[in-house]
Structure 1
Amino acid sequence: MRSTVTVTPAQLPEVLLHVAVVRPVFLWGAPGIGKSSLVRKFATELGLECVTLLGTQLAPEDLIGVPELVGGRSRFAPPESIARQDPYCLFLDELNASSPEVQKAFYSLILDRRIGSYELPKGSIVIGAGNRAVDNALARPMASALVNRMIHVHLTASARDWLAWARESNIHPWVLEYLTQRPDHLWSAAPKVEETFSTPRGWHMLSDALQSFGDDISEDLLGVLAFGTVTANHASMFKAYVKTVRNAFGLEAVLRGDVRWPAAPQDRDLLYFLGEAFRARLVKELPHDKAHASAAGKQLAHRGKALLLELAELSLEIAQMVIAADDDGNPVLPAWFLVEVTRDLPRLVAARA
């Protein structure tokens, strides 16, 4: 299931507060973007215990219980994890990854909030969650009867929300600062093959590992951790970023003219990282219309053209990457800047000669 209407992690608590208290909710989202932790945090904020059931680890009898005799009649005794006296949050994680038989066992629990003669205490809430088939995750089709028993909310990753959380959560400074510069690297679509991909969970795992190793971690071990938690491209860029931190060789120093683009063959990854950071800075700070450019914007444009020339002398490929269009062929940098680059570069080349 996919939707063009999504909510961010920051928006989700308000949605759940008004929806989950009256109807069961199913939370859709890609792997690793924080669905489970957000539900548990929401339950805690409501003062409810969160009881998690993993659909992939359940059999139907784990829900409906086993028969017992009461007054000469048999009835099903639901498991202790579900049959509670006080209100709680029942979190059905990986619900759409469970077998059809288990999904059927959830019907009355989701719709009528009861299993056999047991009814969820008043004030309890039911929230399901699962990945989408498009994420190459384990996801079985849900019967229309089950789909129609819940309100469906689609969660999307938000770099702004995650960075706000990370600043309060002891995320390693390297991870925090890197994603502050490259928020587009927080999440990537799951690949069709078995390889790592970038998610908020993956960056969190990388942060935890770095906290354990300490900042004196070797470059080789840093690569093992990065390539084992995020995409290969993001891991390579992250390693290059750490190199800038360790050598005080950041984009700001290049823009100020304190240092030149790194030219050593062993610093090729660093040059590529700085080129991507340079492109991101131009995209962020150059206005769409030159008439609206501030003094700082005009200065960046002027300095940017000279830096593009210096970069092209080292690597024409990286220089072209800085000014390249997006995947659909649309210009990313303002048209006026691209025109000036085309017009002024021959003059700059002649002046340098």
Structure 2
Amino acid sequence: MQAGISVSAGELPGVLLHVAVVRPVFLWGAPGIGKSSLVRAFAKSLGLECVTLLGTQLAPEDLIGVPQIVDGRSRFAPPVAIARDEPYCLFLDELNASSAEVQKAFYSLILDRRIGEYELPEGSVVIGAGNRATDNALARPMASALINRLVHVHLRASASDWLQWAGTAGIHPWVLDYLRNRPDHLWTAPPKTEEPFSTPRSWHMLSDALHSYGEGVTDETLRVLAFGTLSAAHASAFRAFVKTVRNAFGLEAVLKGEAGWPSAPEDRDLLYFLAETFRARLVKELPADKNSGSPAARQLAHRGKALLVELAEISLEIAQVVIASDDDGRPVLPTWFLVEVSRDLPRLVAARA
């Protein structure tokens, strides 16, 4: 299922507070962006126990129960996980990954809030969640009857929301600092091949592993951990970032002239990381209109052109990354800066020669 409108993790609790208490909700989103943890946190905020049922691990009888004879008549006994006396949050995780028979068994529970003779206690909420077929995850088509029984909410990954949470959740400082500089690396679309990819969940896993190893983690171990949890590009950039932290070697030192671009072959990943960070700084701080720029922005533009010359002398390919257009061919850096770069670089190169 596709949707042009989505909510962030910070916006979701408010939506659930007004919708899930009156109608069942289905939460769509890519793997690893926090759907399950957000539902559990929402249930906790209401003072409700969260009972999770995984659609991929259920058979129809796990929901409707098994028949038993009572006073000469048969009736279905609902499972103890569902049949509770106190209100609770029933979380149907991976609902759209379950078989058609299991999805049918959910119909009365979702629409009528009952299974056989058992009815959910007043004050209970029902929330389902699942991945989209476009996420290369296990997802089966949902029947129109089931779709029409749910309010559908689409969740998107939000770096600002995640970083706000991570700052109080004990996330490793390296992970926090890296994603504060590169929030666009929090999440990437699932690949079509079987390989790790970056999500809030995978960054959390990397954080836990780093905490487990402690400060003595070696560069090779860090490489194993990063490439085992993140997309290859993000893992390489994160490893380079840790090098800058450990060696007190960062972009600020390069901008101030206190250090040059790293030129050793073994520091190629570090050079690429610094160049990408340099590009992000230029995108963030250079104004679209040159005349509206502050003195600091003008100084950055002047220094930036000189640094591009120095970078090109080490690697023309990486220097081109700094000024490259986006995937659609649109300039990322301000047009006036690109014009000045093309005009002034030959003069700067000649002056250095």
The TM-score with structure 2 as length reference comes to 0.99
Q: How much has 1:4 moved relative to structure 2?
A: 0.7
Residues 89-113 of structure 1, C-alpha deviations (whole Å, 9 max, x = no match)? 0000000000000000000000000
Aligned twin of 2:24: 24
Aligned twin of 2:45: 45
Q: How much has 1:47 moved relative to structure 2?
A: 0.2
Aligned twin of 2:150: 150
Instruction: Give 5+ residue unaligned stretches, structure 2.
Output: none
Residues 289-317 of structure 1, C-alpha deviations (whole Å, 9 max, x = no match)? 11110111111101100000100000000
Letter paired with 1:200: P
Distance 1:299 1:44 in 2: 51
Letter paired with 1:212: S
Displacement over 6 Å in runs of 4+: none
Aligned twin of 1:14: 14
Q: How much has 1:343 moved relative to structure 2?
A: 1.1
Letter paired with 1:202: S
Aligned twin of 2:315: 315
Q: How much has 1:71 moved relative to structure 2?
A: 2.5
3-state SS of 1:228 partner = helix
3-state SS of 2:308 partner = helix
Matched, 1:121 2:126: no
Aligned twin of 1:234: 234
Aligned twin of 1:284: 284
Number of residue pairs matched by the alignment = 353
Q: How much has 1:156 moved relative to structure 2?
A: 0.3
Q: How much has 1:70 moved relative to structure 2?
A: 2.3
- Which structure 2 residues correspond to residues 212-251 of structure 1 after superposition, within 5 A? 212-251=212-251
Distance 1:28 1:55 in 2: 15
Q: Identical aligned pairs, as a percentage? A: 77
Distance 1:299 1:216 in 2: 39
3-state SS of 2:229 partner = coil
- Which structure 2 residues correspond to residues 157-172 of structure 1 after superposition, within 5 A? 157-172=157-172
Letter paired with 2:175: V
- Which structure 2 residues correspond to residues 73-222 of structure 1 after superposition, within 5 A? 73-222=73-222
Matched, 1:306 2:297: no
Aligned twin of 1:270: 270
Distance 2:214 2:255 in 1: 30
Distance 2:215 2:289 in 1: 43
3-state SS of 2:313 partner = helix
Aligned twin of 1:34: 34
Letter paired with 1:34: G
Aligned twin of 1:58: 58
Residues 155-202 of structure 1, C-alpha deviations (whole Å, 9 max, x = no match)? 000000011111001100000001111111100110111000000000
RMSD (Å) for aligned C-alpha atoms = 0.6
Aligned twin of 1:326: 326
Q: How much has 1:216 moved relative to structure 2?
A: 1.6
Residues 53-103 of structure 1, C-alpha deviations (whole Å, 9 max, x = no match)? 000000000000011222322111100100000000000000000000000
Distance 1:290 1:121 in 2: 63
Distance 1:150 1:174 in 2: 40
3-state SS of 2:152 partner = strand
Distance 1:332 1:215 in 2: 37
Distance 2:320 2:184 in 1: 20
Aligned twin of 1:72: 72
Residues 2-44 of structure 1, C-alpha deviations (whole Å, 9 max, x = no match)? 1010000000000000000000000000000000000000000
